[in-house]
């Protein structure tokens, strides 16, 4: 079946531009996560949705970062006034986890590589 998809796969933005990154989770997956992976580093948590509710946004690095999942399926990560330090791969993951305490596997998308020039 279809996995997690992300678009665009590559994005080049000039410093100061706004960008929007899209994530299509696996159908039926309740939870959706965004991670940021800098070059040569492990992914770092940004934010977490359960259905349309954003339950944790503690990893968003600044108020220039905003995420939404209005209908509980597709999610968009928006970065306003991009800076060079925002250059990274942005990974989306989804899982069946519904808050019931059982740990379900997270399935990762291919990522969007953002380069800010």
d(CA 53, CA 69): 8
Residue 66 or 107: which CB sits closer to other proteins?
A: 107
Q: How far is CA 35 from the centre of its chain?
A: 6
Residue 40 or 70: which CB sits closer to other proteins?
A: 40
Using CB under 8 A as the criterion, which residues of the chain lie in contact with other proteins when the complex forms? 31, 33, 35, 40-45, 48, 55-56, 58-59, 91, 97, 99, 101, 103, 105-111
What number of CA atoms fall less than 13 Å from residue 38's CA on the CB side? 7
Minimum CB separation from other proteins for residue 35, in Å?
8
């Amino acid at each position: 079946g279809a996995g997690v998809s992300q678009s665009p796969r590559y994005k080049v933005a000039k410093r100061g531009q706004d960008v929007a990154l899209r994530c299509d989770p696996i159908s039926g997956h309740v939870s959706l996560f965004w991670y940021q992976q800098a070059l040569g580093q492990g992914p770092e948590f940004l934010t977490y949705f359960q259905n349309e509710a954003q339950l944790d946004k503690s990893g968003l690095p600044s108020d220039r970062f905003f995420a939404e999942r209005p209908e509980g399926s597709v999610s968009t990560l928006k970065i306003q006034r991009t800076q060079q330090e925002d250059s990274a791969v942005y990974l989306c993951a989804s899982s069946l986890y519904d808050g019931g305490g059982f740990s379900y596997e997270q399935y990762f998308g291919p990522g969007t590589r953002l380069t800010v020039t």
